[in-house]
């Protein structure tokens, strides 16, 4: 059995909206208060506060007069936020993420409910301290009863519920097709078969409307209702851009997984590439990291194979016909002729063919391509 989250949009009643607002506020308050408590304890007394002590601090806060409002909402989301905070500290101490940050009321709000804090029966979901079921727009049926339910509100004011369920993934029929994928900016990606998938540049499409909305926001008085309305308009545009990008990436990743048994990609360091100020906006708009992530987990469910090659493998500079590696290959060169065998190459298609060959070599030999004699020198793509 595999766990999978099913996300739906719902429309709360005024009473549910007030309850959720209090729940989000209490979750945010507890997270920030305990984070400050743990930070001060270490900085002032060199004392490390674990989950047990943090949970005891939550119990003390609920009994105190000035924070008695914490008892007005379900206790489960408050305890769950401390578990998430403990995971954040673990990731920090193991060097995977930065130090946990304080939560803001202007960003996405969420609350997690376990089985003791919600009821699911006859296709209806009831949250703790909520008499009426959530008005969820069920786009698909749940495969099983949820084990965890996460209710969230994004910056655009939309409400979503994510149900974590167990399901049995179905393997797709075996196909002999294999593909190499070269990610880019002009085209979102080019396959080793020569197919080009254009980059729709969703952020650029809405850039004019977004700039206009942001200018109007900057002129509103701080703390006014008009500023809150203007902020909502900006948030809705950002949500529109994100939704369009995610919809396209989901469709393309599903198509790639359905059609190919082996998928070869580059293991790009997208966070490092975003340091390039000239290309950071375009790279973020393309969504390379999200696309590869979707391909990987969908391939796992479908019993497909994904082979990631070394990011420094010279896929663009290497001739896919004879293996000659060009000393230099500036980005403005989109087509070139191999000086060794006179083969003519399109830069992107040639890179995709090399990525496919290197990915298959990784699967066959179980090694990283950069450590093999297949590559005599390392260079930029």
Count of CB atoms situated within 10 Å of the CB of 191 = 24
Beta-sheet strand order (sheet of 178-183): 196-198, 187-191, 178-183, 262-266, 305-309
In order of 193, 247, 256, the CA distances from 250 in angstroms are 21, 5, 10
Judged by DSSP in three states, 8 sits in: strand
For residue 182, indicate whether it is catalytic: yes
Among residues 57, 112, 285, 348, the one annotated as catalytic is: 348
Q: Taking phi first (over 0 means left), then psi (-120 to 50 degrees means alpha), and beta for anything else, what does residue 118 get?
A: beta
Among residues 266, 285, 373, 377, the one annotated as catalytic is: 266
Among residues 57, 182, 285, 310, the one annotated as catalytic is: 182
Crossing angle for the helix pair 288-301 and 225-259, nearest 10 degrees? Answer: 50
Determine whether 125 is exposed, middle or buried from the number of CB atoms within 10 Å of its CB (0-12, 13-18, 19+): buried
Residues 353, 232: Cα–Cα separation, whole Å: 46
CB–CB of 266/180 below 8 Å?
A: no
Residues 130, 123: Cα–Cα separation, whole Å: 16
Count of CB atoms situated within 10 Å of the CB of 270 = 16
Q: Taking phi first (over 0 means left), then psi (-120 to 50 degrees means alpha), and beta for anything else, what does residue 187 get?
A: beta
Residue 218's nearest CA partner among 209, 210, 229, 227 is 227
For residue 266, indicate whether it is catalytic: yes
Residue 109's nearest CA partner among 36, 26, 16 is 26
For residue 348, indicate whether it is catalytic: yes
Q: Which residues are catalytic?
A: 182, 266, 348
């Amino acid at each position: 059995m595999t766990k999978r989250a099913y996300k739906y949009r719902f429309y709360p009643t005024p009473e549910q909206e007030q309850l959720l607002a209090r729940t989000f506020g209490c979750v945010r308050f507890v997270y920030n208060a305990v984070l400050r408590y743990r930070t001060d304890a270490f900085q002032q007394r060199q004392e490390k506060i674990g989950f047990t002590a943090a949970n005891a601090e939550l119990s003390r806060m609920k009994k105190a007069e000035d924070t008695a409002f914490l008892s007005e909402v379900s206790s489960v989301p408050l305890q769950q936020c401390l578990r998430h905070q403990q995971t954040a500290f673990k990731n920090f101490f193991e060097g995977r993420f930065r130090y946990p940050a304080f939560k803001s009321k202007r960003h996405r709000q969420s609350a997690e409910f376990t089985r003791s804090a919600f009821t699911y029966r006859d296709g209806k979901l009831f949250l703790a301290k909520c008499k009426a079921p959530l008005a969820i727009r069920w786009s698909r049926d749940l495969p099983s009863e949820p084990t965890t339910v996460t209710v969230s509100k994004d910056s655009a004011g939309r409400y979503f519920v994510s149900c974590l369920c167990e399901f049995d993934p179905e393997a797709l029929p075996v196909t002999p097709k294999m593909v190499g994928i070269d990610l880019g900016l002009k085209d979102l990606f080019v396959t080793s078969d020569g197919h080009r998938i254009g980059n729709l540049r969703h952020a650029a499409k809405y850039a004019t409307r977004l700039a206009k909305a942001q200018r109007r926001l900057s002129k509103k008085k701080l703390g006014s209702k008009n500023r809150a309305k203007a902020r909502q308009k900006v948030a809705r545009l950002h949500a529109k851009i994100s939704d369009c990008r995610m919809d396209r990436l989901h469709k393309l990743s599903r198509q790639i997984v359905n059609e190919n048994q082996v998928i070869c990609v580059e293991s790009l360091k997208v966070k490092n590439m975003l340091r390039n100020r000239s290309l950071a906006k375009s790279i973020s708009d393309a969504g390379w990291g999200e696309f590869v992530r979707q391909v990987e987990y969908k391939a796992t469910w479908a019993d497909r194979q994904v082979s990631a090659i070394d990011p420094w493998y010279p896929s663009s500079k290497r001739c896919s016909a004879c293996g000659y590696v060009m000393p230099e290959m500036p980005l403005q060169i989109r087509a070139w002729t191999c000086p060794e065998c006179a083969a003519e190459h399109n830069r992107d298609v040639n890179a995709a063919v090399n990525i496919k060959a290197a990915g298959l070599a990784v699967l066959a030999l179980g090694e990283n391509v950069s450590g093999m004699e297949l590559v005599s020198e390392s260079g930029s793509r």
